[in-house]
Structure 1
């Protein structure tokens, strides 16, 4: 009797999971990007987050995303892109790519989010970002060179082009393989946004 009850519960859970996944529909929970945009690595399934450090929704999404990143399978390539929708967003995009160039993302990414949203600090321009970098142990001269480097210039311009190509109207947004776009607004919540991403990754894996 106990075995039968356990089997029934297991089958119910499987059925529920399948039904929940099938509830995510094109045009409702995700949208198709037309034309599809190129990815960095054609041999993997690329998942991209477009974000802005000044966005409170991006800050709220970060804990969900960090947990999801821990579960990424080998065939998925995760990429972050700082959104560049106007000039005021450029300093944060530069900060992201400067940190990437110096391999000090841990000293900039979450600290910058926390400074703005947790500590209510105005860290929106080059000087205030440089001060944050220095406060987190990054050499001031190294930071200045990276922040203003041609390589970071190029990355920021590319981020702007990709943001436009993805036809994003808000952040955070998640892009799967340059073909699909979803958000918390479309999916219903931060948790559901990542479930939609997982479903789309499975779809791409089957193609």
Structure 2
């Protein structure tokens, strides 16, 4: 039986208390469970804490992280502003990055973000060409002409440039990565460095969410 990535989230979170997560919040350390950027980045979160995920549609780890991450975002909605940055790359990655920012420009990202993950990781549609992206959009119920107009717009070009600049500023060289308050970075892989007992990918993801909880509290405390 093939499970959709977004169907794993509820079960993962339900089982979270049963996983052998040995590190407590007091044990989370800079340089182990998370890192602090050499230069803090500007954020615009209107009194909340900005949380930014750097991800890619093609990345299987990002696809698997999507459901638990979105559940975490929903749980913390009162305290955070959540943003995404689709990483850049050559060839098909550039196409997938443009899909993300075209959906964002059209205001249809929330309805279609999971659909792109499913297209790539369940339906095995690599979305590797412009025409494949346009066909996918049409099949998803998006007006093809409007999608193409946004695809070619100056606004989407500006979003792509902004994404590339943020990758450089946040020193992104792997994904998924999560930035908290423009200062702290963590990820499932980073969490497993801080807590070697995290062995499976599910455990690493839940470990990262616990580090993120800690970083939200840390950022809020330091702003007082």
The unaligned stretches of length 5 or more in structure 1 are 1-12
> Normalized against structure 2, the TM-score is what?
0.80
Within 1, Cα distance between the matches of 2:78 and 2:122? 34
SS of the residue 2:33 aligns to: coil
- 1:194 counterpart = 2:198: no
Within 1, Cα distance between the matches of 2:91 and 2:35? 27
Which of these residues, 30, 44, 58, is aligned with residue 40 of structure 1? 44
Once the 2 structures are TM-superposed, how far is the Cα of residue 38 of structure 1 from its aligned partner?
1.4
**Which region of structure 1 is more displaced relative to structure 2, 175-184 or 80-89?**
80-89
Instruction: Check conservation: 2:53, 2:84, Cα contact below 8 A.
Output: yes
> Normalized against structure 1, the TM-score is what?
0.86
Aligned residue in 2 for 1:53: 57
1:80-95 alignment runs, 5 A limit: 80-86=84-90, 88-95=92-99
Q: Which runs of 4+ in 1 moved over 2 A?
A: 40-44, 85-90
The unaligned stretches of length 5 or more in structure 2 are 1-16, 193-203
Instruction: Check conservation: 1:47, 1:177, Cα contact below 8 A.
Output: yes
**Which region of structure 1 is more displaced relative to structure 2, 51-60 or 99-108?**
99-108
Question: Rg: which structure is higher?
Answer: 1
**Which region of structure 1 is more displaced relative to structure 2, 114-123 or 139-148?**
114-123
Aligned residue in 1 for 2:83: 79
CA RMSD between the two structures: 2.0
